[in-house]
Every structure is written in structure tokens, then in C-alpha cells.
Structure 1
Amino acid sequence: MKKIFLYSVLVLFAVNIAFSQSENQTDGLLSSWLTCFATNGNNVFAGTCGGVLLSTDNGNTWTEKNTDLRVLSVQSMVMSGNTVYVGTYLGGVFVSNNNGNSWGKMSVGLDDEDVAALAKRENLFIAGTYWEASAYSFVSIQGQWQWVLMNEGLPRATVRTIAIKDNEIFAGTCEGVYSSLDSGKTWTNKSSGLPKLKVRTLTISGDLIFAGTDSGGVYLSTNNGESWSPRNSGLPQVTIRSIAISDDKIFVATEGFGVFSSSDVGYNWSPKNKGLQNLNIYALAINGNNLFAGTWGGGIYRSTDFGINWTQTK
């Protein structure tokens, strides 16, 4: 309960800052509360409660990128080529095609601007929202691109994460996993084996789909979400905020227990926390040989040896 209250205070504070400060400034404290990453080449973007950070040298240095980003509390982020999209708390979706030097709002048709999740692959672009608990698809109608509500079959439960596998869209909600095969028009429950758990994050690697849950650890599906099984040996019963995969190495971000890794498809996990001063990890990203961990209130850490050692870079 304390964490929920603290998050509410922080995001409300961030929204106030967005309207009271100049658009290219952030509060140093709020930019240490990480929510998400997106990478492309040497560019690593970080979403925070105080806006967007960019590193062009694999995390050695970070620069604020908030010009025209009118709401600084970033909750979700995705890249497509050189274009980066961010979903914000009560501010909708913003887009930049110049490495974050400027941002434009793209929220036409988006009734709920509390955007908790974004996913894009080729012509599919899906947003998941918090308060209205809906999914939106970005489509062209009579030549105008806009968001269209697509929630037939979805429960009224926050869409926290979205992942796309081939032409199938998976949504992690507060009532399990749902999938769509028709660009989000209709959804089917895919929660067999998930014991009514809230799903925080979904990550796809080949035929494997990993789900990180609230207080239930990690679940794995090997059959496109038709069934799920727990993969928690060595993991405490914790909330999983983020999952990152590189070849046979799987990393999970936990609330309060740091980073854990597995090299056997999640059957066994071991902690990887040497050098981490903050064990509330809310975001993970892999870029080449660099593993990034975004903490809740403690900035950004980087590991160049897949989690054996960590160094704070922001």
C-alpha cells in the first residue's frame, strides 16, 4: 500500500512539473525513478517520472530529451526504426523522429490518455490504457491516422503490457492474459494456468512467451498462451516488473529483490545484484553486451558482464 501511495504522489508531482516548468527541463529527483527502456543501435532511451533520457554511448552519459513533451511522467516506450513513441500518465502518446530533440502529440481518438503499454510491429500499433482498461489500435480512417478503441472480449481491467508475436497480439491485464488475431478487434482469454494473477510484463523469444506477474513470479507458455506454467525455482514470491532476454540468458527485474537470471528457460534462477544499491528494479534492457537496469528512485545501472557486476551510470 505504501508503494502504491508513493507512486501516486510521484506521478501527480510529475504532472504538475510538466505544466509548471519549461518543457525542456526535468526534476533531478523524478528522473531517477525509471519506468521503461527502448533501444536502437547505440541509442538507449529511458522513460522516467521526470521525462525521457537518451544515451548515445551505451550508458556512459545521459541527456534529458523533453522539448515539447508536455507530460513528463512516462509509463511506456517503444521504438520503430529511428522513431520513438512514449505513453504518458494522463497525457496520451507522444512521438519523436529526431532522437527526442522534439516531440509531437499523437492522441487523436484516445479517450483514455493514461497509456500504460505500447507495442509496435510493422503495421500493428497497439496502446493499452489504465483507467478505461482498454486497448486501442492506431489505424487510418479516410486518410487520417487515429486511435480506435478495440476491446471486444477484454475485461475492464488495466492493460499493463502488450507484446506482438507474428500477427498475434498479447495483452497482459489485471485479470490475466488475452490475445487477438484480428489486429485487436476481438480478444480471447489465454490465462489457463495463471491463478488469477495480474500480469505486469510480457516478453517473447521465439516460441516462448514469458509473463511477469504481481507477487507470483514468472510464468512460461510454449504454445502461444494456450497454457502457462510457473518458472520460479530460486525466485522469491515477488512482483516481476520487466523481463529481458539475450540468447539463452533471461533476466527479470523484481520489486525489492533486484535482478535474477536464468540460463535454463526459467527453471532455475539466481540473483545478480553485485553493485546494485537499489533493489527495486522497474525496467531492464539489453543493448549488445550491455544490460541496463532502471531502479525506482535510484537511477540507472549498467552491467557489461551480464549481471555479474553493476555500475551506476545515472
Structure 2
Amino acid sequence: MKLKIYLILVSMVISITLWSDWNPVGPISNNGCILESIKQDPENNQILYAASTSEGIFKSTNNGTSWFCLTNEFADIPFKTVCVNHLNPEIIYAGTGTGAIFKSMNAGIDWIQVYQHEFNRNINEIVISPDDGSRIYAAIETTYSLEGGGIIKSINSGEDWEIITGDLNSKNFHALAIDYDNSNIIYAGSKFLYSCDGGFFKSEDGGLSWSQSSSESVTEIAIDLLDNSTVLMGTDSNGTFRSTDSGETWQQSSSDNVEFFQGEQFSITYDPINTDIVYSGMNPPNNYAPAFYKSIDNGISWNSVTEDLNSTIVFSICINSDNNDIIHAATFNGHYISSDAGITWSHANHGMAFVKVYNIVINPNEVNTWSIFSNKGLYVTTTAGEEWTRSVYTVIPSLYHPEDNTLWGYVGGGSYSDGIYISYDNGLNWGVLEWIINTNHVALNPINPNIVLVPTDETIWKSENGGYDWSNADNGITEFPVYAVYFDLINPNIVYSISESNVWKSDDTGDTWINIDGPFDSDENQPKELIFDPTNTSVIYIRANSHLWKSNNYGQDWSELILPSTELSAFCIDGMNTNILFTGFNGSGVYLSYNEGQNWESFNDSLSNLQINSFALDPDNYSFILTGTDGDGVFYSEYEPENHSINKIPFVNENKLTIYPNPFNPSTTLSFYLKKDCDVEITIYSIKGKKIKSLLQSQLPKGEHSVIWNGEDDFNKIVPSGIYLSKMKIQNKVSSIKKCILLK
């Protein structure tokens, strides 16, 4: 008996998964956070302030060489604009993407909130009267509902506010400027938004009345610092316009760059020493077009002067008041500085450079290709993290289409860009499929991807023809918003969705829903994510705020897994051995269990950041895992599930299986390319490692080859629906293991 026990213990030790330490794989963060505004202290040009939509308000006291955050207590608030009182630079105002205006009276040390918009609209611009520091104006953006836009005014340093645009309150105001010589003259620009027309508006009585002189979609306004009758107007996709009669009439500027008339102008800034020189920053029409332009004739003509700022968005420009060769740019990639009047640029983001990775998507057909969404935006690597490229788009990647390998993603939050997007290059560039307000997620039916479900704050939208037509699919759901939907991988007629305190189930691809009873109505049990056991989808897990719940019968009954820490922030299951579970926590790192959560052990070797936001497993053969941290980017670890060969399985592209269609019914084709003549074996296994079918065992010449599996075993019997593993050996060494799904 003792000998038997000893042998069992030895066997357990041998079967334990072997892990490598965590390794950081980027993105290497010389990028700062997304900055939408940058301003200089009018009395000390070494002091700069910058507003970030992801990290708060930053300050530099050494001309942008290094930065420190002023608003750590408001970490979750997106700041859109910052304004320094030119009469008293200790006083600073900051506008947010949540409708709030904050004020500091001691150069950013302390902040108080002085305004809150009723509908939480973006505060896009704040300006202060040149002759009265207590008189402040702010431009407010509207949304699809056309409610809540306009210009607001305070005459007592922000203590009280009134809206001054009357019938123009439905306008989508993005730009605001005050005449330097006559502070009663105010210019405001509205950007086109569906049924809301754009326009340039002027008031000559401090905002009591307004006249319109242009119907362009206006995104920026600048006034000549020496000649206040000269005004420049930046637009969305139509270049720049110039007026020499205080905004009464306009002449379109010229440029040899066609992209100048295709992008969105975000910033127009006059050189404070020579006003013939003007700079423009923009959102270019693609990743390769210029984002920074210069005019040497006061805005009459424009030309690109640098390629250093291509592949980014320039939101704001600030020029040193004493040395006009020094220019600062607030961009999608953080802070850039130029010392030669905009010809060459370098990053200067010390104090801003950290990447919070919120989700990771791995291309199932090219597992070296990853797309991540972070506080710095969307990054793509095709080299397993060796090199990264940042997209200018802010789409959240969600999943790959199972047939054409396009990447699907979404934009939400109530912006004018909300909707479903598709990328053909792994997330670098995107095209909109459908505008859908307040989108929270997107899901595709794995066997019929023409069926698409999109949960929103108000409903669930369903398409049965790949996104061309849509209908409501929320019958039975009584709680909104709905945050996510999940198709059953084996029986995709079954769909689950989660809302704030409920889990819902549909048996008819989302047409009707029932509530699943469960312990989800308390704050600590609010469902955040639903995860299937990939080998048995009757087993589902719910990750909640502080708990992990499991059901073995499609959600009819629930049991709680005892966790090793609090603040559960990520969870995933080993697809090769579903006894292995990964949990990520906000502050205590990664824990894993080899026995379905009965016991846990710390898995934090070489993991420098213990705040975990996300996981992603290699969908090809589960040979590696990625985790996204809250500040240090992505970490990578290789591991060996019990059924893997003891030798590491490579995830390079050589001699690799491609399976199509996948999922399949009744047959699928396994294709591969050989770099030289060699012996090849291809075998189908069950997810538990049992041999099902020997498909190929032969010596083959160099070139392309394929073999068909018709869903039968070695005894010519049809196997049941489920997940299977196809293993290819070359010269008797494992070359590739791929998951394939048979659906009936």
C-alpha cells in the first residue's frame, strides 16, 4: 500500500505543469498617455500643463522634459482640456469628458469641482476673457440626442454658470476663441453630427446674441495675435479657412497635401513671435498621412514639414513664448517636443509612460499577432511582442471572424463614433460596419457568423446577415445596460448575456431571454464576465467583483470557488487541461489552480506589476499565456499542459496547420506547407488526449499539402460534437497542435 501511494505521488509531480517566468513583451512605453490639450504658464515658459483622457492633468516644470500627475484623486476621469488664467497663472481650469469643470487656485496642487453638466457632455474648450480673469467660457459637445450642447459662461471665476447660446444649445461645440482686443467678441465652432449641422458663430455682445457666417463642420478657431481681424477656422475633412474681416467672410486655404483636406483639424496655433507662421495639428485620414502642418503666410497655404508625427493624432500645439523654435505637441502618443520649428520631434514623456492593458486578442491563424487595447490606445504586434505599432483608431478589439479572419471591434461610451468596426489588418486600420450608440460589446455566432449580437445601454441589436440589417433582440431582459453577450461554442443557439446584477440566457440565438437565478444582486457579486469550459459548455463560470462562481448545468445551480485573494480582475481556463484555472487580481498578481480551484498557488515570478487586468491564451495550441497589467504592458509565459509533449511546442509559422472551415460540419480541410521533403504525421485527438483518427502518415515532398477529416474515428464512426485537437509531427517531432470544433 505504501508503495502504491508513493508511485501516485511521483506521478502527480511529473504531471504538474512546467512554467517559465513571466517576461515583459511591451509595448515598450516611450509613449505617454493620450493628451488632448497642452498649455504654457504665461509667466514662466518652463511650466507646462497637459490634459489626458486616461491619466488626468500633468505638469512639467522643465519645459516638458519630465512630468508629474496633479490629479491622482481623479484617476478615472477623462480630462479633455486645460486652461491657465493669464492674469493669475496660479489659477487653472480643466474640463472633462464627463461634463465636469475643475479649478485649482494653487497651480494644480489642489482641485475643486465648479461645474457639472446635466447630461455629462464633453467639455471641449475653456477660454478666459483677456481683460477679466473672472469671466470664463466653455464649449460643450452634444450627442446623438442633440441635447445639452452649447456655450456656458461664468462671471465669478466659476462659482456660477449660465448657458448663453439659446437656440444653439443643440449644436456640437468644439471650438471657442475670444478677441484679444475686444473681449465682447467671441467665436464658436460647431462640428457636424448627423442631424446637427456644423457652423461658425460670432457674438459681439459677450454671448447675448449670435450670428452665423459659415456652415462648415468647425473643429478649431485661432485669432492672429497681432491682427485680430484675421481669423483661421479648422474643419473636419475640408482643410482650413481664413478670414480677414473678423469672421464675416471666408477663403479656403491651399495645400499640396491632399490629406490636409481629408483629416480633422484639432489645433491651429500662431507663432507668438512671428504670426506669419502658423501650425496645424490634425487627425490624419490614415496611419501614414501627416498629422502636423506649417504655414509661413498666415494660413493662406499649408505644407507638411515632418514625418516624425505621422501615425499619430496631434490634438494640441504650444509654442515657447521666448524661443519659437521650441514647439510642444499633445498627441495620441503623448508629448512630443521639437527644437527646430517642427522639423524633427522626440518623445518627452518621463512620468507619463506606462501602459494599462485592458484586453488582449490573439489572431487564431497567426498566433504571433496580438491586438491590445490600453490607456495609450490600440497597439498591434505581428512578432509576438518584439515590435509594436500603434493605431490612430480608438476601437476596442473584440474577436476574429471565424471564416474570413477579420478583426471585429467596437466603440462605445456615447460618442459620435459609437458602433461596430471591422479591421483587415489586425487593428491598425478600421472601417465602420454600423453606427450603434452606446455599444458595449460585439459577438459572432461561431458556426454562422452572419448572426451578430451587439449589447448596448438600451437594448441588444441582432443581425442575421452579417451586419447589414438590424433588429431588437432583448425580449425578456428587464435590466439595462447589457454589457456583454456570449455564444455557446458547441451549441451556438444558446447565448448568455450579463447586466449589472443579472445573468440572462437565450435558447434561440437571442430572440427571447430568461433570467438565470444566481447570487448576482449584491455589489460584490455583480457579474463582470462569463467564461465557458471549452470542452464542456454546460460548465460556465461567472467572474464577479470579488467572487468566482461556477455552474455545471448551464446556470441552473451555482457554487462558489474559494479564492486566494480579493478584487478579482481577470480569469481564464486552460483549453488543453480544464482543471487548470488562472485568476488575476488587482494588487496580488496571478494565481493558478491545477484542480479546478480547490487549491491555488502564486504565479508571480518576474511579474513586476501585480495589478492584473486581462488574460489571453494562445488559441492555436495553448503553448503560452499573456497577461495585461495595469501599468507595465503585457507579460508572456510559456507553459506545458499535461497532455503536451515535454518539448516546447513552437508557435512560429513554419510547418503549421491551417484548418478551414473551423468550426465545421460535416468535414474540414487541414492544410500545411513543407519547407523541405520530410515525414509527416497528422492525428486527431479528443480534448482529453485520446487518439481519435490517424489522418496521415507519409513522406511528402516540399510544398503545399492538405488532408480532409470527415468527422469519423479510426473505426469509421461519426464522432460527437465537441472540441478536438489535430497534431502534426514532422520528422517525428511535434510541429503544430490546432483546435478544431465539430458542430452538428
| TM-score (ref. length: structure 2) | 0.36
Query: 1:178 Cα deviation (Å)?
Result: 0.7
Q: Against the structure 1 CA distance between its residues 306 and 87, is the aligned structure 2 distance closer, same or farther, given a 3 Å change threshold? A: farther
Identity of aligned residues (%): 20
Q: Against the structure 1 CA distance between its residues 160 and 31, is the aligned structure 2 distance closer, same or farther, given a 3 Å change threshold? A: farther
Distance 2:73 2:576 in 1: 34
Distance 1:116 1:295 in 2: 21
Structure 1 equivalent of residue 440 of structure 2: 115
Partner deviation per Cα, 1:126-157 (whole Å, 9 max, x = no partner): 2223x33x3222333xx971343322222323
**Quick one: higher RCO (CA 8 Å, sep 6+), 1 or 2?**
1
Distance 2:606 2:79 in 1: 26
Query: 1:84 Cα deviation (Å)?
Result: 0.6
Mind listing any 5+ residue stretches in structure 2 that lack a counterpart?
Answer: 1-70, 81-95, 98-121, 125-262, 267-282, 288-311, 313-331, 335-351, 642-744
Query: 1:31 Cα deviation (Å)?
Result: 8.1
Is the Cα–Cα contact under 8 Å of residues 571 and 581 in structure 2 kept in the other structure?
no
Distance 1:38 1:223 in 2: 28
Is the Cα–Cα contact under 8 Å of residues 45 and 54 in structure 1 kept in the other structure?
yes
Is the Cα–Cα contact under 8 Å of residues 439 and 454 in structure 2 kept in the other structure?
no
Structure 2 equivalent of residue 79 of structure 1: 400
Among 364, 372, 377, the residue aligned to 1:46 = 372
Structure 1 equivalent of residue 501 of structure 2: 175
Is the Cα–Cα contact under 8 Å of residues 584 and 590 in structure 2 kept in the other structure?
yes
Is the Cα–Cα contact under 8 Å of residues 589 and 610 in structure 2 kept in the other structure?
yes
Query: 1:58 Cα deviation (Å)?
Result: 2.5
Partner deviation per Cα, 1:85-128 (whole Å, 9 max, x = no partner): 112233222111233342111224x2x33424545423332222
Q: Against the structure 1 CA distance between its residues 300 and 10, is the aligned structure 2 distance closer, same or farther, given a 3 Å change threshold? A: farther
Which has more radius of gyration? 2
Structure 2 equivalent of residue 276 of structure 1: 607
Among 531, 542, 563, the residue aligned to 1:203 = 531
Q: Against the structure 1 CA distance between its residues 174 and 144, is the aligned structure 2 distance closer, same or farther, given a 3 Å change threshold? A: closer
Amino acid at match of 2:76: Y
Among 562, 565, 572, the residue aligned to 1:243 = 572
Structure 2 equivalent of residue 135 of structure 1: 460
| TM-score (ref. length: structure 1) | 0.80
What SS does the corresponding residue of 1:7 show, helix, strand or coil?
A: coil
What SS does the corresponding residue of 1:106 show, helix, strand or coil?
A: strand
Q: Against the structure 1 CA distance between its residues 162 and 252, is the aligned structure 2 distance closer, same or farther, given a 3 Å change threshold? A: farther
Query: 1:163 Cα deviation (Å)?
Result: 1.8
Partner deviation per Cα, 1:66-96 (whole Å, 9 max, x = no partner): 4xx3xx162x511123111112233222111
Partner deviation per Cα, 1:239-273 (whole Å, 9 max, x = no partner): 33342433232212222222221221222222212
What SS does the corresponding residue of 1:183 show, helix, strand or coil?
A: coil
Q: Against the structure 1 CA distance between its residues 117 and 245, is the aligned structure 2 distance closer, same or farther, given a 3 Å change threshold? A: farther
Structure 2 equivalent of residue 125 of structure 1: 452
Structure 2 equivalent of residue 311 of structure 1: none
Amino acid at match of 2:568: T
Structure 1 residues 21-60: aligned runs within 5 Å: 21-22=283-284, 24=287, 25=312, 26-27=332-333, 32-39=355-362, 40-41=364-365, 42=367, 43-60=369-386
Structure 1 equivalent of residue 76 of structure 2: 7
Matched, 1:185 2:511: yes
Distance 1:144 1:304 in 2: 37
What SS does the corresponding residue of 2:76 show, helix, strand or coil?
A: helix
Q: Number of residues paired by the alignment?
A: 291
Amino acid at match of 1:202: L
Amino acid at match of 2:553: N
Distance 2:636 2:555 in 1: 32
Distance 2:629 2:445 in 1: 25
Matched, 1:294 2:628: yes
Distance 1:189 1:32 in 2: 38
Partner deviation per Cα, 1:217-252 (whole Å, 9 max, x = no partner): 2111110111211112x4223233342433232212
Is the Cα–Cα contact under 8 Å of residues 157 and 175 in structure 1 kept in the other structure?
no
Amino acid at match of 1:27: N
Distance 2:411 2:370 in 1: 18
Amino acid at match of 1:255: N
Query: 1:5 Cα deviation (Å)?
Result: 5.2
Q: Against the structure 1 CA distance between its residues 152 and 294, is the aligned structure 2 distance closer, same or farther, given a 3 Å change threshold? A: same
Distance 1:243 1:10 in 2: 33
What SS does the corresponding residue of 2:468 show, helix, strand or coil?
A: strand
Structure 2 equivalent of residue 312 of structure 1: none
Distance 2:74 2:624 in 1: 33
Q: Against the structure 1 CA distance between its residues 178 and 37, is the aligned structure 2 distance closer, same or farther, given a 3 Å change threshold? A: same
Is the Cα–Cα contact under 8 Å of residues 208 and 221 in structure 1 kept in the other structure?
yes
Distance 2:604 2:612 in 1: 11
Distance 2:571 2:636 in 1: 15
Structure 1 equivalent of residue 130 of structure 2: none
Amino acid at match of 1:105: V
Query: 1:289 Cα deviation (Å)?
Result: 1.5
Amino acid at match of 1:151: D
Among 411, 414, 436, the residue aligned to 1:88 = 411
Amino acid at match of 1:225: G
